[in-house]
Amino acid sequence: MERSPRIRVLIAKVGLDGHDRGAKLVAMALRNAGMEVIYTGLRNTPDMIAQAVLQENVDVVGISSLAGAHLETARMVTEALKKKGVGDVLLLMGGIIPKKDFATLKKMGVHGIFSVHSSFDEIIDFIRKNVPQTQVASA
């Protein structure tokens, strides 16, 4: 599969969390910053997300969590990514996530955590700093 020279990001919602305005706004901000964005829509399973990561050959996965299930969601998504062999993708979570859960999420394999108060610039900068340009430009 030919690789895009731009950073590719998959934005997803897991389970029954139906609040996707923030996910759509983040997707738009990332597109405006020159990234390729795939938004999977609502009600995805962790396996669906892992399959999309594999098929779309993305650099980053962003999970939006506004329903309070972020710890379980992170656990299930990281397991699904590992099972599909794509566990090395940069994994981000955003939404209503208490600071007290940040350390636990990082131990589970979430690389970046963004609260509802994070700016688009913070997210964009984090992605650009953590996706090696050799990874984006190669293949």
Phi, psi of 5 (to 5 degrees): -75, -5
Q: How far is CA 54 from CA 32, 40, 51, 82, 129, in A?
A: 24, 13, 5, 11, 22
Query: What's the burial of 5, exposed, middle or buried (CB within 10 Å: 0-12/13-18/19+)?
Result: exposed
Q: pTM score, two decimals?
A: 0.90
pLDDT digits (tens, 9 = 90+) for 54-90: 999 999 999 999 888 999 999 999 999 999 999 999 9
Domains (range + CATH), the chain: 12-128 (3.40.50.280)
pLDDT at residue number 138: 47
